[in-house]
Amino acid sequence: MGIEALAESLGQNILTTTLGKLVGWGRGNSVWPAQFGLACCAIEMIATATAGVDIARFGSEAFRASPRQSDLMIVSGRVSQKMAPILRTVYDQMPEPKWVISMGACASTGGVFNNYALLQGVDKIVPVDVYIPGCPPRPEDLLNALMILQERIKAQGITPRQ
């Protein structure tokens, strides 16, 4: 078979892209969050997974109990001083590439609790990719944050985190 005949037989069935874009597309549409519920926001995180908002539309319905199987940590709620080392351990156990969403005012800044007990922002111990305001944020807010993160993952491609 000549090269012209091959091209003709394949017709419109070929797609050309870069490896980076392909990997980014794959990663962005299969972000598996770790099951890491802390406080009030965790309930809204569960609500995001139920039929009403349905996070499965974005490929992230597989909340994994083990950090070894997850790509995304949704810090959903207030992080106490006692919980902080455990949160960091769970983060360290997640394989690269990994991302963090800081869900709600408490996780992002300490929220209404400016006191001795709470970590004033989870970004003090782990790098955060997307912050969500709200106390707690609506499930739609979490979906929006996930979509922002997906865009970023797709743009990042195959290159590792800086």
Partner 1 sequence: MSTPEGVTISRTGEAGAFGGELLTVNFGPHHPSTHGVLRLIVDLDGEQVRSVKPVIGYLHTGIEKQMEALRWQQGVVVTDRHDYLSPPINNLAYALAVEKLLGVDVPPRANALRVIMSELTRLSSHLVWMGTSGLELGAMSMLMYCFRERDTILDMNEEISGFRMHTSYIRPGGVMADATPRFLEMLEAFIRAMPGHVDEYEELLTMNPIWRSRTIGIGRLSAEDAKVLGATGPMLRGSGVAWDLRRAIPYSGYEDYDFEVATSDLCDCYGRYLVRIKEMRESVKILRQALDRLPDGPVNVDDRKILPPPREELETSMEAVIHHFKLFTEGYSVPPGDVYVAVESGRGENGCYVVSDGTHKPRRVKFRSASFVNLQALERMALNHMIADMIAIIGTADAVLGDVDR
103, 145 contact by CB (below 8 A): yes
Backbone angles phi, psi at 109, to 5 degrees: -140, 0
Q: Does 36 bind partner 1 (CB under 8 A)?
A: yes
Instruction: List the structure tokens of 59.
Output: 């490929």
DSSP letter assigned to residue 69: G
Residue owning tokens 């949160």: 87
Q: Does 148 bind partner 1 (CB under 8 A)?
A: no
Instruction: List the structure tokens of 1.
Output: 């078979």
Q: Does 125 bind partner 1 (CB under 8 A)?
A: no
Stretch of 2-10, 17-25, 113-121, 145-153 lying at the interface with partner 1 (CB under 8 A): 113-121
d(CA 58, CA 13): 26
Binding mask of the shown chain, residues 44 to 73, with x at each position contacting partner 1 by CB under 8 A: x-xx--xxx------------x--------
Binding site for partner 1 (CB under 8 A): 35-40, 42-44, 46-47, 50-52, 65, 77-78, 80-83, 86, 90, 112-113, 115-118, 135-136, 138
